[in-house]
Amino acid sequence: MYLVDTAMSADEDKNIFVSDQEILSLISAWKSQVGRDPTDDELARIINNLIDEEILYREALVLGLDQEDTIIKRRLAQKISFLKEESIPEIPTPKELNEYYENNKEKYYIESSYTFTHYYFSENDNSLDRSLQALKSIQENNKVNSDPFYLGKTFANEPLRNINTNFGTSFSKELMKANVNQWNGPLQSTYGHHLVYINSVNPGYIPEIEEVLRQVEVDFLQMKRDQAVKEFLNSIRSKYTIYINPDLKF
Amino acid sequence: MKSIFIKLLIAIPLIYLALFIGLWSSVSDTRPIISLLDMMRSDSATKIIDFSSDEEKSSKPKPKPNKDKNPYYGDLHVHTKHSFDAYIFGVTATPNDAYRYAKGEGIMHPMGYEMKLKEPLDFYSVTDHGFFMGMMNAWADTSTDISQNDFALPFHNLNKEENLTVESAGPRSALFSTILAGTIATTHGNFHPNTLKAWLTKNTQKALKSFDYDIHKSAWEDVARSANEHNDPGHFTTFIGYEFTTSTNVEGGNLHRNVIFNSSKAPIRPWTRIDSINPEDLWTWQDKLRDKGVDTVAIPHNPNGSNGQMFEMETFYSDPINKEYAEKRMRNEPIVEVTQVKGTSETHPLLSPDDEWADFEIMDVRVGSRPPTYSKPSGSYVREAYLNGLTLEFTKQGNPYKFGLIGSSDTHTGAGAFDESNYWSKVGILDGDPENRGSTPLAQENIERLDNYMRAFNQPRSTVTLDQGEYANTGFTQWGASGLAAVWAEENTRDSIFKAFKRKETFATTGTRIAVRFFGGYNLSSIDLNSEMLVSQAYQKGVTMGSDLVGDGDKTPEFIVWAQRDKNGAPLQRVQIIKGWIDASGRTHEKVYDVVCSDGLQVDPVTNRCPDNGAKVNINDCSITQNIGSSELKANWVDPDFDKENKSFYYARVLENPSCRWSTWDAISRGFKPREDLHDTIQERAWSSPIWYIPPASDVDVVPLGGTVRLINLST
């Protein structure tokens, strides 16, 4: 810990002393819930949050938001965040939206979706053997004796995310490798084995902005609100000196 | 011209005086605020605002609707920083954060760790407390006039020295109860202009010193806007919602309800307990909104903490229930939240002594009571309410308890804790770590802190000495990692899911993603359980959960139940059907039937029970027996005790193999043994909404009179 200079300059309120005690108490609360020590990244995040809050608090004091010094630090920090958020203009220009979209295209990636039908064989009843048998029956144009699948037989435009949820990730990985317009399998899900016939695949793609304009607008405004606080913090952070014990053990 | 002017000059003060006299005669005594509100009809909350359009935000491909319906899982009970108590719990999550969490992103707990779902949810509704919504900011902020009131002082100092420490748990809890008790709801006084304004605008809230309408409206606007911004038809559904947080006046019986809206339209402000503490007035308001094209459902929660007052045999003001009351209640409250963090309200061991699974996540105190006060079981659990509904109908009073079931979390951190192995309970820093929620022993300084706090706030001792040391005993041990709302709907849209609420095609789970289908009819045994057409034929030939099955001559109803496990949970152990009925003498009965067992085991026809499948839990590491239990269970079932004259209900209960309870996970992962006075394990479960059997019209009508039952033969 650096020594605190008792005769501080006029800039005294730009020094932030983070005590070992404060950090240790945060770490202890964290450990107690999560059951392990925080990683370096997690620790950095915890401490940064503490510092951000302190800065916002001090800045709120500078603005005189505290009056009788009875406002809680946390609410002050929130209040100034809120003030910064509120200064955002409500209607973004097309140029702003386009720029935002160009920089965040991957966020709008539309994942692939599948239209398929399947035969299901329950793991309660020899699913692998029966599905292999059934594959043979299909090739020989014989009738297939399968089980009804809980979530149904045919799926149209089913996004990969739903297939993950409904069948398990190992199934969807296999599905991505399967061929269109033919029987594939057996593919294993959480519930047994499946023979899958894919009718069509809508490959994943990055859409034109027009397709997702409303969503871009919503995200842009949210980003602006978050950014207003962040920019403010960044602009002001350089004015502060943070004192923190680099050798703290826990 | 001049005389008119003078007349006006005289008239204005006269009118003002007349208004005051009118007001005076309404509220002239010094009764507490609750009584004032009785006199002042507060009904300004019917102005409808469209908070945005329901237009779709993208043109990405939507999964095709499924006429056989899909199961969708969600949470309809979520609080964020706009709730009056969130500030007390140290919560700063916004509605936007809550929806991000539901979609699978990680958000921060007030204690600094990340909360994240294993898999995203399908629907979510942020339901902050309606009363004092957003008001805490104003009280804590000394630059506002409102914060200069006495009631606001404790909020100024609450976090003065340290922000998010467990040390402040004491005063925080005390504040929570203070607000619930309504002691801060002081009025301006009868002749204050604000009271007049409240009276004239029919907005009772304006008569309160603690109320700022502008802040209130902007918090509500944020709730509605966030819901609309995150709604993504076909992929993720949100609902505008809030909690109507009311209780009975003297006993503090919990009467809380969540109100869920069906579109992007909602009233200018939520109807709250400041408008009225009587839920019947809430229904009147809902009826008015429905006339204006805004449909809602109100969902009662925590009947277990209502001291028997959620499902009473009489109205709020102790009048007899009648058909009009029953219809109005069912029109507005088609579903009930049967499980959540604060316990499960299916049934209680004292009410269902023959149900071996009745002792499940019981919370036996009234919601928010200080000191924690016993809540009497009768009137507080849904199975008994179903039976009482039959009784009321028997006495020609209508059935106000014909509701479906959902679960939800009631989290106050924006993020529901559904996973036993990764649990953070619900009230932020008060129960955000194992010591404070009582699953691991307290450190010495925390014992002293708790003792000091209990003395300071005149509360009973809240620690308990057990084998491994001194534990917190503040009630959080009775809470748990529950639950989810589930629906059968054609597609994941507001319209489709809301309609499922209305027709009660819903089921509840304790946080697990079990799915259960349930059908009743007269020709269901003709359906091949191994056919691909099983579901579509069952819909065609029968009725599903939430519906009536009307008697058909002498035919005996047949049922189909089909359950699927959660792929991330334990395998299924058994499926049960729970039957309740009323006999010719007006006596009610209930019975639990196992209808299908795991691993091909057969139900014993005498005991109606499955044999033990042998699945075990290792308490030292929470591992469970492998390869025992089923991934799906399916059965056709005929009621062996059927009597066509008896009005009955049937609902399905699906049980997983046992697994570790959160308190066991908490203890073993910190190197302790589980606490000996708590259940080590639980059986996660799901409940379907019931199917009601309505006997065929009879030529004998039972007309109970004066407490006796007289039979009138209509044919003579």
CA dihedral A99, A100, A103, A109 (to 10 degrees): -120
ipTM exceeding cut-off 0.85 for this assembly: no
Q: How far apart are CA A156 and CA A154, in angstroms?
A: 7
Probe site for chain A from B51, B56, B57 (most A CB atoms < 10 A): B57
pLDDT tens for each residue of B78-113: 999 888 777 677 788 899 999 999 999 999 998 889
Which residue in chain B has the smallest CA separation from A123?
Answer: B631
Does one domain contain both B538 and B412? no
Domains: count for chain A: 2
The answer to whether position A250 is within a domain reads: no
pLDDT at B193: 74
* Cβ within 8 Å of A, B 555-614: 562, 564, 567, 600
The answer to whether position A77 is within a domain reads: yes
- Whether B535 sits inside 8 A of A113 (CB atoms) is no
- Whether A71 sits inside 8 A of B96 (CB atoms) is no
Which residue in chain B has the smallest CA separation from A82?
Answer: B137
The answer to whether position B204 is within a domain reads: yes
Question: B224 touching A, CB under 8 A?
Answer: no
The answer to whether position A210 is within a domain reads: no
Chain A residues with CB-CB distance to B60 below 8 A = 110, 207, 211-212
CATH number at residue A196: 3.10.50.40
pLDDT at B342: 97
pLDDT at B25: 45
The domain in which residue B560 lies consists of 514-703
Please report the beta strands in B526-670, taking only residues with DSSP state E, as ranges in sequence order.
542-544, 548-550, 558-564, 572-582, 588-597, 632-638, 648-656, 659-660
pLDDT at B146: 58
Domain boundary among B461, B478, B495: B478
* Cβ within 8 Å of B, A 154-193: 155-159, 161-162, 164-165, 168, 190-192
Q: What is the pairing mode between strands A15-18 and A241-244? A: parallel
Does one domain contain both A150 and A197? yes
The answer to whether position B449 is within a domain reads: no
The answer to whether position B566 is within a domain reads: yes
Domains: count for chain B: 2
The answer to whether position B714 is within a domain reads: no
Does one domain contain both A36 and A85? yes
Question: B628 touching A, CB under 8 A?
Answer: no
Cis peptide leading into B629, omega within 30 of 0? no
Does one domain contain both B431 and B518? no
Question: Side chain identity at B605, as an amino acid letter?
Answer: P
Does one domain contain both B252 and B399? yes
pLDDT at B514: 97
Element spanning B485, H or E: strand B484-489
**Angle, nearest 10°, between helix axes A169-177 and A160-167?**
130
Chain A residues with CB-CB distance to B111 below 8 A = 29-30, 33
Does one domain contain both B186 and B310? yes
Cis peptide leading into B371, omega within 30 of 0? yes
Does one domain contain both A198 and A143? yes
Whether residue B336 contacts residue B400, with contact meaning beta carbons closer than 8 Å, is answered with no
Question: B435 touching A, CB under 8 A?
Answer: yes
pLDDT at A77: 58
The answer to whether position B115 is within a domain reads: yes
Q: Which residues contact A28 (CB under 8 A, 6 or more apart)?
A: A250
pLDDT at B490 over 60: yes
DSSP state of B31: -
pLDDT at A2: 34
The answer to whether position B445 is within a domain reads: no
pLDDT tens by residue, chain A, 250 residues: 333 333 333 455 678 888 887 788 778 777 877 778 888 888 888 888 778 777 777 776 666 554 444 434 555 555 555 555 555 556 788 999 999 999 999 989 999 999 999 999 998 888 999 999 999 999 998 889 899 999 999 999 999 999 999 999 999 999 999 999 999 989 999 899 999 999 999 999 999 998 888 889 888 988 887 777 777 777 777 777 878 777 777 6
Question: A117 touching B, CB under 8 A?
Answer: no
The answer to whether position A3 is within a domain reads: no
pLDDT at B132 over 90: no
Which residue in chain B has the smallest CA separation from A219?
Answer: B229
DSSP state of B311: T
DSSP state of B525: G
The answer to whether position B117 is within a domain reads: yes
pLDDT at B506 over 70: yes
CB pairs under 8 A between A and B: 151
Does one domain contain both A95 and A118? no
pLDDT at A33: 77
pLDDT at B176: 56
Domain boundary among B457, B478, B499: B478
Chain B residues with CB-CB distance to A119 below 8 A = none
Whether residue B70 contacts residue B118, with contact meaning beta carbons closer than 8 Å, is answered with no
Does one domain contain both B122 and B253? yes
Q: How far apart are CA A157 and CA A116, in angstroms?
A: 9
CA distances from A21 to A17, A26, A105, B442, B634 (A): 11, 9, 44, 20, 58
- The residues that bridge with B576 in the sheet, in sequence order, are B594, B653
Q: Which residues contact B405 (CB under 8 A, 6 or more apart)?
A: B335, B336, B338, B382, B506, B507, B508, B651, B687, B688, B689
pLDDT at B461 over 60: yes
Question: A224 touching B, CB under 8 A?
Answer: no
Does one domain contain both A54 and A131? no
- Whether A29 sits inside 8 A of B68 (CB atoms) is no
Domain boundary among B451, B478, B505: B478
Does one domain contain both A84 and A126? no
Q: Which residues contact A206 (CB under 8 A, 6 or more apart)?
A: A105, A106, A108, A109, A110
The answer to whether position B155 is within a domain reads: yes
Does one domain contain both B595 and B690? yes
| Residue at token pair 């989810």 | B484
Does one domain contain both B406 and B555? no
Does one domain contain both A118 and A195? yes
The answer to whether position A249 is within a domain reads: no
Cis peptide leading into A186, omega within 30 of 0? yes
The answer to whether position A188 is within a domain reads: yes
Nearest-by-Cβ selection for B68 from A152, A190, A214 = A152
pLDDT at B46 over 70: yes
The domain in which residue A14 lies consists of 10-101+224-244
pLDDT at B189 over 80: no
Whether residue B382 contacts residue B484, with contact meaning beta carbons closer than 8 Å, is answered with no
